A and B are shown apart, each in its own frame.
Chain A
Amino acid sequence: DVELLESGGGLIQPGMSLRLSCAASGFTFSKSAMTWVRQAPGRGLEWVAGIGGSGVNTFYAESVKGRFTISRDNSNSTVFLQMNTLRVEDTAIYYCVRGLDTPDDYWGQGTVVTVSS
């Protein structure tokens, strides 16, 4: 069965860094584009970043460009989101998604990031 397990969330002060991980299993990881989507408390969904199967192609929302970096380790079936210079407005549940918008679309349960002093 497909499984996506996000980790790395927590409470952190503004300006600090955090790295989220998403461990995947149950499918051929290297063939799947992966995406991070976030949802601030009581708000809608926001696409954050995406990465192709090889890791060469990466894409970012304007709100995180230059601060966040998406990467992947295909040998360990894991995708990462390095988040630097965190802001209060980055507070959200961060979801890891396989194959967003495709028949293979599958979401993890999310990890909570709280940015607060």
Chain B
Amino acid sequence: DIQVTQSPSTLSVSVGDTVSIACRASESVGTWLAWYQQKPGKAPKLLIYKGSTLQSGVPSRFSGSGSGTEFTLTISSLQPDDFATYYCQQYNTYPLAFGGGTSVE
């Protein structure tokens, strides 16, 4: 099974900062990787799929990059609404797998 690892687990940042979250898969997933945002008490929200494609309605300050085993979610000029937990997820191979999450605080 493919394992997915995120780093760091916590990020302490300020409004206006540029934030980068790393995601590593234990074997190549091509570009079959998605990023989700979750706020407390809410269901996750899809931000990016296929490695770098922005989901409709998601602000352009969010971007995804990478392929194979190394991926990055970047948030440019962090806004107050962006404080949340972020998860990456591979969907190249079953069983699908989420990373452990990164809390942006």
**Chain A contacts to B: CB under 8 angstroms:** 35, 37, 44-47, 50, 59-62, 95, 100-103, 105, 107-110
Partner of B43, one of A47, A60, A102, A108: A108
Is the CB–CB distance between A62 and B49 below 8 Å? Answer: no
Judged by a CB distance under 8 angstroms, whether B34 is at the interface is yes
Minimum CB–CB distance from B103 to chain A (whole Å) comes to 10
Contacts of B71 in A (CB 8 A): none
Considering the chains assembled together, what is the distance between the CA atoms of A7 and B43 in angstroms?
A: 15
Considering the chains assembled together, what is the distance between the CA atoms of A59 and B94 in angstroms?
A: 7
Contacts of B44 in A (CB 8 A): 37, 45, 95, 107
Contact status of A62 and B95, CB under 8 A, knowing A103-B49, A103-B56:
yes
Is the CB–CB distance between A103 and B91 below 8 Å? Answer: no
14 additional contacts (CB under 8 A) given A45-B44, A110-B43: A37-B44, A44-B87, A45-B101, A46-B98, A47-B89, A47-B97, A59-B96, A61-B95, A62-B95, A100-B96, A102-B49, A103-B55, A105-B46, A109-B43
Is the CB–CB distance between B49 and A101 below 8 Å? Answer: yes
Interface of B is mostly: loop
Contacts of A110 in B (CB 8 A): 43
Could you give 17 example pairs across A and B, Cβ below 8 Å?
A35-B96, A37-B44, A45-B98, A46-B98, A47-B95, A47-B98, A100-B34, A101-B32, A101-B34, A101-B89, A102-B49, A103-B55, A105-B49, A105-B55, A107-B44, A107-B45, A110-B43
Residues 1-38 of B contacting A (Cβ, < 8 Å): 1, 32, 34, 36, 38
- Who on chain A is nearest to B100 by CB? A44
Partner of A45, one of B56, B87, B95: B87
- Who on chain B is nearest to A64 by CB? B95
